[in-house]
Chains A and B, each alone.
Chain A
């Protein structure tokens, strides 16, 4: 499944971008060098910006489980492929720390790429702490990368963290309809929190977002 990122990337690029990627592509037989990997991960957006995905690429990504693949660019694909390649050469117990460092030291687009990759990395549950921490971001693009069109939270978050994420989405006016598999996680506790939020808003004379009713009316599967 995960090979599609690699396949799409190498099928698309040519010219100077290909020369660059061949130079920075992590080796299969030794652990990635952190500084070299970070430079490659950072450079991907700029060096691949002239490429766009073809309809067949978007279909491959969708078949692999990517939600909203039509919004992906080749640099997102490249960054997922780079992470997969690097992790394959790392001992299992070093992978979570490696991905965390790439996330923490990335710009917003890099951070978003890491978050959108999490479900496709080996043993995705090992990145739970990072994914929960990402919800604390102050940057909308980064928050949306974990909360929206991303299967990871519904698949892995404990209830308390999932509920906090949904509440934060409502605060930020991020449409909760973009949260993958929300209906599966619409627990009585989430509904209570949402109703309490609406009450607080009404008491303050402020508008209550439509999403509140939407969540209250969800039936858990």
Chain B
């Protein structure tokens, strides 16, 4: 079964992760711009990060046969940093034009401050202007109120709710999110946000319409194989194959396809691997035999 991890921070992951993801059936992923675990001290650091999302990280992914796309935005945590926030906002119109940028994100609330609100609203307007879907992060603390405020802000923005995916849902927020008309993402994490068995129960309870899952794997304790592992859990729970495929492939493709930039190739499969694109001291291959698949 083809799988799409629509929220994963590959910049923090190894080539072993890429290989394991490809082996498990992941053929496409989206890397949302987020924070890097420690605050950046100047706008230039964001610029280099955005460049890696539209550049180097795509190259790494392709070597393992995985389509790499990104969403670009000012994350909620650093929206609170006056040293960088407005300067990053000035960069966004450039990066929202890039070919592999399929959305605005991840944006939203963290501490739910006035500055977060201001930049959240401004980025919703950018999504309208650039006709891009939006990936919204919901806060870990005071999550339910944060989700309600998110939905209010989405409604006030005038964007069509079907172009908004609210992520990191739990049992307590999913109904709210679906009722708003937005799509509902679930980040399957070790120990915290959501786990595989709970996710299978939610699909049994709510069905598959506008529901997606992702690993949200990053630099912390997280697991880039949570999408395939949740597929296994859903199978175990007796959920139909076609429903599982809807959740892990058709739904994310439909949602981000609204960007009109989600180029999955003619067959919608994985890109041809050509590891001969690797070389020398900086190669991600160091002495191994390159895998080259024949051109079609």
Residues 30-53 of chain B, each 1 if its beta carbon lies under 8 Å from chain A, else 0: 000000000000000001000100
Which one, A42, A45, A108, A173, contacts B59 given CB within 8 A? Answer: A108
Q: A140-B277, A172-B279 are in contact. Are A107 and B98 (CB under 8 A)?
A: yes
B274 to chain A, nearest CB (A): 8
Query: Cβ of A109 and Cβ of B90 under 8 Å apart?
Result: no
Q: A105-B47, A171-B279 are in contact. Are A39 and B99 (CB under 8 A)?
A: no
Query: Cβ of A46 and Cβ of B276 under 8 Å apart?
Result: no
Complex Cα–Cα for A171 and B279 (A): 7
Known: A42-B98, A108-B59. 5 other contacts (CB 8 A): A42-B97, A105-B47, A107-B99, A108-B55, A138-B283
Complex Cα–Cα for A12 and B59 (A): 31
B57 to chain A, nearest CB (A): 11
Q: A35-B90, A107-B55, A108-B55 are in contact. Are A46 and B97 (CB under 8 A)?
A: yes
Question: Total interface residues on A, using CB and 8 Å?
Answer: 19
Identify the closest chain A residue to B276 (Cβ): A173
Complex Cα–Cα for A39 and B93 (A): 7
Identify the closest chain A residue to B282 (Cβ): A138
Q: A107-B54, A138-B283, A139-B59 are in contact. Are A39 and B276 (CB under 8 A)?
A: no
Which residues of B79-104 are within 8 A (CB) of A?
Answer: 90-91, 93-95, 97-100
Find chain A residues with CB under 8 A from B99 CB: 42, 45-46, 107, 109
B193 to chain A, nearest CB (A): 32
Complex Cα–Cα for A45 and B261 (A): 11
Which residues of B93-144 are within 8 A (CB) of A?
Answer: 93-95, 97-100
Identify the closest chain B residue to A139 (Cβ): B59
Residues 135-160 of chain A, each 1 if its beta carbon lies under 8 Å from chain B, else 0: 00011100000000000000000000
7 closest cross-chain pairs (CB), A and B: A42-B97, A43-B97, A140-B277, A107-B54, A38-B94, A39-B94, A138-B282
Q: List 11 A-B contacts (CB under 8 A).
A: A39-B94, A42-B97, A42-B99, A43-B97, A45-B99, A46-B99, A105-B94, A107-B54, A108-B55, A108-B59, A139-B56
Find chain A residues with CB under 8 A from B90 CB: 35
Interface centre among A40, A108, A138, A139, by most chain B C-beta atoms within 10 angstroms, is A138
Find chain A residues with CB under 8 A from B100 CB: 107
B88 to chain A, nearest CB (A): 13
Complex Cα–Cα for A140 and B282 (A): 12
Which residues of B262-296 are within 8 A (CB) of A?
Answer: 276-277, 279-280, 282-283
Interface centre among A46, A107, A109, A140, by most chain B C-beta atoms within 10 angstroms, is A107
Find chain B residues with CB under 8 A from A168 CB: 280
Residues 115-141 of chain A, each 1 if its beta carbon lies under 8 Å from chain B, else 0: 000000000000000000000001110
B145 to chain A, nearest CB (A): 37
A160 to chain B, nearest CB (A): 18
